[in-house]
Chains A and B, each alone.
Chain A
Amino acid sequence: MGVGNTGKGVSELVDEVRDRLSSPSSQELFALLIVLGIVVLALDLVRRLATGEMAFGRLWRYTWNGLVDSLYIALAAIGLSMTYSILRFANFSHGDLVTTGAFSGWAVAWLIGGWGVYGIGELVLFSPTAAGPTGGELGMNVLASPVAILVGLVAAALLTVAIALAIDRLVYRRMRNASGISLLIASVGVALALRYIIGVFWTVESHSATASAPILEEIPAWLPFERLNLHELTLVVTAVGLIVGLHLLLQYTKLGKAMRAMADNKDLALITGIPTERVIFATWTIGAGLAGVAGYLIVLDRGQFSINIGWFLLLLIFAAVILGGIGSIYGALVGSLVIGLTINVSLIWIPADLNEIAAFTLMILILIVKPDGLLGGVETA
């Protein structure tokens, strides 16, 4: 009997396995593919490191760049994730809030840096004529004019918030009960209008706003750096500070609780007396403020920018939000980390102009396999 039983068990098992193998769902197939891919890449990485084909230093540099990239992606992704969970639509104009932050913040920084020496128009428009100053001549780095940079940072946040609130009032408030797709389409309209209104003033050409970044050569031995780019450091410190602050805000204030409640169930939140319009106000304030800061910091780090800076970032932000599970802010942080690392560490295997393809492919695969995101789709802040 025992033998017969096992025989049956085995044949059942075989049948089941055959069943699974002969008709695996597309999700399972893709999940298998992704896991296989990651395993192969990890093994290859170990091989390269072991054979000395690739130095540890290079891997560390890619990882560090990935961390830096993931920080500004995270700043922008938080806002996108919040609007997704509270207003319930994919906001395609979020990238252009990043652009708004970059332009408004640096315009203010230039205004302060060159006040009295150059004309207001020349400063605000980043010297449209050849006669105007350059970022270097204005000393736009964190050591030479820390006040201008700091005020610019604050201005980037405030002005972006102001514009986001104005847009909400003009557009989204009239569509509070519209479907997600209608809001999505309207947000595309907002994105185009906002970007090209900026374009009318600043043209579509690329601008260079900063002086070259001061480099710190003397670094304590325990830090794994040979030299430290102070602009990069500013980005890291600001971003980490804001993310920690946001965490405290969400976890320990009544506003945070209200936001989480509203993300969970809007009707229930209304019934319990949560002032939804005030929560929406807070959502735009936090989300747009962080997006504006992100735009400002990206320019600080890179120097060059144009009106497409936010649009080109948008899909990466979406990828991060999706990876983390749409609506989850901590998920967005994890997703940003994955995306930031992906676009940099993937350079080990693929040429630099294909790295975003890797990130977008990862995004599509995650959407297919695990549409709830890596953290299981807790749609709460």
Chain B
Amino acid sequence: MSDPDPDGDPETDTAAVPDDEGPDDPEESSAMIRPEWRSDLLLVAKVVLATYVGFFVVGVLSGAGVNATVGTIQSITFFGAIFALGALALNLHWGYTGMFNIGIAGFMAIGAYTLSIAVASPDGSPAGFGLPIPVGIVLGTIAAGLAGLVLVIPTLRVRADYFAIVTLGFSEIVRLSVQSRSLRQIGDTAYGTGGGQGIRATPVDSVVGWLFDQPIVGDVGGVLIVLGETVGIASSVLERGIYTLVLILFVVAFYVLLTRIAHSPFGRVLKAIREDELAAKSLGKRTDRAKIAAFALGCALMGLVGTLWMGSRTHISPDNFMPLITFYVFVALIVGGAGSNTGSVIGGFAFAAFIFEGPRFVRTMVRANLGTDFPRTAHGAFAELGAGDPSALIGYVLYQQADEVRYIVLGVVLIVLMIKRPDGLLGHRKEISAGVDLSRRGPVADGGRPAVGSDDRAGTEGETDDPAATNGGDRDE
């Protein structure tokens, strides 16, 4: 039991993820398969670092400039954090419980709109309640959770593909409702959703300004900005980066929360539902209750992501919540592999870097190298191609149509993943529902040492294995 502690501590210098989790880790892990903090963290760090280095080198070499490259890296991190948050929340639905929710945009919309209405100034049009932002975030989270609760209770027994359609329909209902003119200002009150024009409120990332006013953090921030300007990085990029750091703290919190859920008795019930709901029910598990709780919690988290993402804009409108953003999160989860929290984080980051920001980055490089003087239509592009100038077509596709290219890449990645690797990059890591590692039983029965796991852990694992098995069995509800 003393071993896992030093196990966690050396990690603190690599990144901040597990150090606050270190103390909780041992007692949790003794009873069930341990979350592999160390190797997971290393993996995340490797992927992130490799991506940063790759983008930086390519960006600087291609002449896009330091500011633009750092800006890209900043937005990769921002969107990486956002999609990691979304994928983690979705992982609770799909990865653990097997509930196929494609209404994420709707829950994000509920969260973000609740926040905006709560925070917007009472004099605005439409008016808000002028509450402080943290209250708004909490309200948005609760509202999304309640919406999930209302949606899931009647639809519990609906087939998986029908459930998908129900949730998509729900998200469209939400979007069309906030877009509707009749809800722009409800009744005679000044409050409402603002219809197609949306609603204006203090953005959530004003927390950065507040942070700068604090004694120590503000000084460090000020130094950072001065440092940044000497290397040629705009202060706006850095300020945005500080908000991204706040988001990363949320990623850590989500990760810890979901990993703890996954390794709790409740989490095992969820995984059992995913594998075989009937069997779980036959064993006396209250599967309905577990599904409702998991869905509502996941929706609340999605609402929170909505407040953190869309709430960081000064203005939100129904167009921010097209069903497309649901599929962003879905691809992020599928890339990482459903059923794995670490996979969700890596998937969110990889999606943000290569699919979401990739085409925009290529656009930046094209602009730096070929200029911006490209035909605005496919007609013009092909005409110039016919006249012997292929750069027009390249510029047209990669510069003018960068967003379309992004969606095409998104679609193609989805197809290829489904054909080649339906389990995603880390899908093999899908956690099983058993409280003990079933794969370890063979070697132990032979009297041998466990063959899996990292070497430095092998000694303690062998001792704790048997009590763990019995504990795990008894503790399960």
Contact = CB atoms under 8 A, between A and B. Distances in A.
B180 A195 contact: no
Interface string A202-233: 11100000000000000000000000000000
B466 to A, nearest CB: 37
Contact of B165 (A200, A318, A357): A318
B408 A361 contact: no
Which of B376, B380, B404, B415 has the most C-beta atoms of chain A within 10 angstroms of its own C-beta? B415
Given A128-B379, A351-B180, A363-B169, A186 B397 contact: no
Contacts of A204: 404
Interface stretch (B50-58, B139-147, B156-164, B208-216): B156-164
Interface in A138-180: 171, 174-175, 178, 180
A95 B161 CA distance: 17
Contacts of B168: 315
Interface string A97-125: 00000000000000000000000011001
A381 B401 CA distance: 42
A125 B161 contact: no
B172 interface: yes
Interface string B164-197: 1110111011001101111000000000000000
B173 A360 contact: yes
Interface in A5-40: 26-27, 30
B411 A194 contact: yes
Contact of B404 (A121, A171, A199, A368): A199
A357 B100 CA distance: 22
A203 to B, nearest CB: 7
A129 interface: yes
Nearest to B376: A128
A322 B165 contact: yes
Contacts of B334: 185
Given A200-B404, A315-B172, A360-B172, A367 B165 contact: yes
Contacts of B378: 121, 125, 128, 200-203
A378 interface: no
Interface size class of A (residues with CB under 8 A): 35 or more
A88 B159 CA distance: 13
Contacts of B324: 192
Contact of B414 (A89, A192, A195): A192
Interface string B349-377: 00000000000000000000000000011
Which of B158, B169, B181, B380 has the most C-beta atoms of chain A within 10 angstroms of its own C-beta? B169
B154 to A, nearest CB: 5
Contacts of B379: 121-122, 125, 128-129
A112 to B, nearest CB: 18
A90 B159 CA distance: 12
B186 to A, nearest CB: 13
Given A171-B419, A186-B415, A189-B410, A319 B182 contact: no
A356 B411 contact: no
A191 interface: yes
Contacts of B330: 185, 188
A180 B173 contact: no
Nearest to B165: A318
Nearest to A29: B154
Given A188-B414, A364-B169, A354 B408 contact: no
Contacts of A190: 411, 415
A353 interface: yes
Interface string B126-159: 0000000000000000000000000001111011
B418 interface: yes
A287 to B, nearest CB: 17
B122 interface: no
B181 A353 contact: yes
Which of B160, B181, B404, B410 has the most C-beta atoms of chain A within 10 angstroms of its own C-beta? B404
Nearest to A189: B414
B401 A368 contact: no
Nearest to A185: B418
A181 B181 contact: no
A193 interface: yes
B43 interface: no
B419 A125 contact: no
B407 A196 contact: yes
B377 A189 contact: no
A199 B324 CA distance: 15
A93 B163 CA distance: 18
Nearest to B416: A189
A114 to B, nearest CB: 14
A353 B179 contact: yes
A122 B379 CA distance: 7
Given A26-B153, A175-B419, A364 B411 contact: no
B412 interface: yes
B181 to A, nearest CB: 6
Interface string A347-381: 00011011011001101100110010000000000
Interface string A232-247: 0000000000000000
B405 interface: yes
Nearest to B326: A188
Nearest to B167: A364
Contacts of A350: 182
Contacts of A364: 155, 166, 169-170
Nearest to A88: B161
A354 B415 contact: no
A184 B382 contact: no
A95 B381 CA distance: 28
B422 interface: yes
Contacts of A367: 155, 158, 162, 165-166
A324 B372 CA distance: 52
A319 B169 contact: yes
Contact of B415 (A171, A361, A363): A171
Given A185-B330, A196-B404, A204-B404, 12 more contacts: A121-B383, A122-B379, A175-B419, A185-B414, A185-B418, A189-B415, A196-B408, A196-B411, A200-B408, A315-B172, A351-B182, A368-B166
21 contacts: A90-B164, A128-B378, A171-B415, A184-B161, A189-B412, A193-B407, A193-B408, A194-B411, A196-B404, A196-B405, A196-B411, A200-B397, A200-B401, A203-B377, A319-B169, A351-B181, A360-B170, A360-B176, A367-B158, A368-B154, A371-B159
Interface of B: 100, 153-156, 158-162, 164-166, 168-170, 172-173, 176-177, 179-182, 324, 327, 330, 334, 376-380, 382-383, 397, 401, 404-405, 407-408, 410-415, 418-419, 422
Q: Which 5 A-B pairs have the closest CB atoms?
A: A189-B414, A193-B411, A192-B411, A128-B377, A186-B418
